Homo-oligomer: A and B are copies of this chain.
Amino acid sequence: MTFDLYTTLYIVAIIAEAMTAALLAGKLEMDLVGVFLLGWITALGGGSIRDVLLNHYPLSWVRHPSYPLITGFAALATIMVAQHMHRLRKLFLFLDAIGLVVFTVMGCQVAMTEHLSVVCVIISGMITGCMGGVLRDILCNDIPLLFRSELYGTVSVSTGVVFLCCSHIVDNRNIELLISMIFGISFRLLSIRYNWTLPRFSYRS
């Protein structure tokens, strides 16, 4: 049951991430291979970077070869629904928030099963949650959004902290996940709704 809930949310998350990537690919007028690959790399890249850095082999898409196919075809399917996307914008932001939070929690869990320090658990969550988007922005030749605005990084780190606290207090994985998700998704959606941003550092030499 726990496994099913996690897996279901994970698949929702990778599909959502692949679809965001596809829309960006469409803005840059990439071809079909570009859409497919950008969707796949965005959705599975964060987890892959984490696994490589933590020496946690085999990678998820090597164990589950259906994941690259699911994400790639989700990206291609986005082409067909793209003209309706403005009407689906709220659903889309919600799915994207689920993606960020589920990825973060799963990243924290991987580091916790390896008995890493608290700092590494938080970093592992953040890498899993955010690095897919960083790869996407690098491949699209842009300064990663993570570094510039929106509270992506902040949401991911604080979701990681909430999850870590829960896992010391509660003894039920589903409840830990549920609390972290409610916190993280609310934080993310409120930050979009009210345009919360962090102060910027502006420097002229």
Contact = CB atoms under 8 A, between A and B. Distances in A.
A201 B80 CA distance: 10
A87 to B, nearest CB: 12
Interface stretch (A4-12, A48-56, A173-181, A183-191): A48-56
Contacts of A13: none
A129 interface: no
Interface in A17-34: 22-23, 25-34
Given A147-B38, A154-B33, A22 B201 contact: yes
B153 A201 contact: no
A15 interface: no
A132 interface: no
A62 B138 contact: no
A118 interface: yes
B55 A53 contact: no
Given A26-B201, A37-B147, A65-B120, 17 more contacts: A22-B201, A23-B203, A27-B204, A27-B205, A29-B148, A29-B202, A31-B199, A33-B147, A34-B146, A37-B153, A52-B53, A53-B62, A55-B57, A65-B116, A68-B119, A69-B119, A82-B203
